[in-house]
Amino acid sequence: MCDHDVRLNFNVSGVYAVPDLPLLGKWAGRGWQLSTIYTALSGHPFSVFRNGLIDPSGQGLTGASIRGSFTGEPVIIQDRNPDAYVNNVFVSPSPGTVGNTPRNFLTSPGLSQWDLTLAKNTKIGERLNVQLRWEVYNVLNRANFSRFSLDNGIRSSTFGQLTQTPDVAAGNPVVAQGGPRNMNLGIKLTF
């Protein structure tokens, strides 16, 4: 399975221009707009590695090339538990053998995020428009975890743990997709 095999990539968006509200007057009753975006992504596949300098198979493999072996116990995925996303039921391969775990047989956590914007457009004169925007990212404040922070080395004491959200892993805390709820207020002039 390819490292970038994302089975679900669902995005939906919409913009609704609120009809005029005559009870609020000419200025406050016109120009309201509501827009939204929802994104749902399934996780990326990943492999379980032994990691290390000594290859028990004798083939000279190193690092992420050395796959782990199953112990026979069931693999348990806990989607909402970053401290134990996957249980460690893997061991180093026996001397002279290659690990029996397949490539990319597990899937990292996905992403689900709903963003919402409320905007008020006010026409001033013939050519000037002022837009006041209130943007809310990750409205439900759902915790999303980055696949890049998943420890998949069976010899590690933090195996199966997720340590970062996607925004932090991308180097854009709070700003990038997958961060905590964030609200912005902005003014835009169009002329």
* Bridge partner residues of 9 (DSSP): 41
Euclidean distance between CA atoms 62 and 40, whole angstroms: 36
pLDDT digits (tens, 9 = 90+) for 22-44: 888 888 889 999 999 999 999 99
Say how many C-beta atoms besides its own lie within 10 A of residue 168's C-beta: 17
Residue 155 to residue 97: CA distance in whole angstroms: 17
Q: Residue 87 corresponds to which tokens in the numbers above?
A: 């249980």
3-state secondary structure of 162: coil
* DSSP assignment of 78-144: -TT-TTSSB---EEPPPTT----PPTT-EE---EEEEEEEEEEEEEETTTEEEEEEEEEESTT----
Higher pLDDT, 175 or 99: 99
- The model carries a pTM of 0.81
| Residue 110 reports pLDDT greater than 80 | yes
Tally the residues of the chain.
191
Top pLDDT among 78 and 64 is at: 78
Q: What is the mean pLDDT of the chain?
A: 89
For residue 173, which amino acid is it? P
Give the start-to-end residue ranges of the domains of the chain: 9-190
Distance CA 85, CA 48 (A): 13
pLDDT digits (tens, 9 = 90+) for 34-71: 999 999 999 999 988 887 667 777 777 766 678 889 89
Structure-model confidence comparison of residues 17 and 21, the more confident one: 17
Give the sign of the dihedral formed by CA 14, CA 20, CA 24, CA 27.
positive
3-class SS at 65? helix
